[in-house]
Amino acid sequence: DAEITQSPRHKITETGRQVTLACHQTWNHNNMFWYRQDLGHGLRLIHYSYGVQDTNKGEVSDGYSVSRSNTEDLPLTLESAASSQTSVYFCASSRTETGELFFGEGSRLTVL
Amino acid sequence: DAKTTQPTSMDCAEGRAANLPCNHSTISGNEYVYWYRQIHSQGPQYIIHGLKNNETNEMASLIITEDRKSSTLILPHATLRDTAVYYCIVRVANSGNTPLVFGKGTRLSVIA
């Protein structure tokens, strides 16, 4: 079955380190999204992509970057991790023709 | 900002119908109402969506008022596994390339 997977599921890192969270989907969806979720803030959009070589900033994009070199993957990079980026990160994908987003199981990142 | 208003929390007895309300008084003519839920520690899951007619699928029913300013998600026979946060979201058209904007949602607790 087609799916969307995130890795790693759990990561602990130190302030200032570069961290990359992977997101891979096998549905051949054009659209991919990254959200973060914190207590008291709900889900907030970080970056999104409508296709290869396309990236867009979301509500909370500072300190994050993404790249889309193929349809299947949208890695999220924290160039210099900060404690404020401790959060649970969710990746999602969708087809343009439908409204349904499919979410991964999340990646829990702790920055010490 | 989310364009919907939902109660913060609700309780429902197991086996009874759970009726989750949502106000979206500023909804536009081309905006759909989407419902997602998030079970603890998992990624959000699509439930149902509609434009102006009532909709039903294997998970739930969606009742939209005639003026489209509010809607109700109905879980006909709630089980303990339906305990989750339920998000009501409005978005333009039936398009998967529009990012979802999440509010705080309603925390539904199904009680045995």
Are B97 and A50 a contacting pair at CB < 8 A? yes
> Residues B102, B3, B98, A89: what is their CA dihedral angle, to the nearest 10 degrees?
-10
B50 CB neighbours in chain A (<8 A) are none
Predicted confidence (pLDDT) at residue B94 exceeds the cutoff of 70:
no
Mean pLDDT of chain B: 91
Minimal CA–CA distance to A35: which of A106, A111, A97, A112?
A106
Average pLDDT on A50-60 reads 94
A103 CB neighbours in chain B (<8 A) are 43-45
Q: List, for residues A32-44, the tens digit of each pLDDT value.
A: 999 999 987 789 9
pLDDT tier, B99 (very low <50, low <70, confident <90, very high otherwise): confident
Q: List, for residues A69-86, the tens digit of each pLDDT value.
A: 999 999 999 999 999 999
Check if the beta carbon of residue A44 is closer than 8 Å to that of residue A59: yes
Predicted confidence (pLDDT) at residue A1 exceeds the cutoff of 80:
no
Nearest-Cα distance to chain A for B2, in Å, is 11
- List the single residue in A33, A98, A104 with the smallest CB-CB distance to B99: A33
B104 CB neighbours in chain A (<8 A) are 42
Tokens read off for B75 = 């879980």
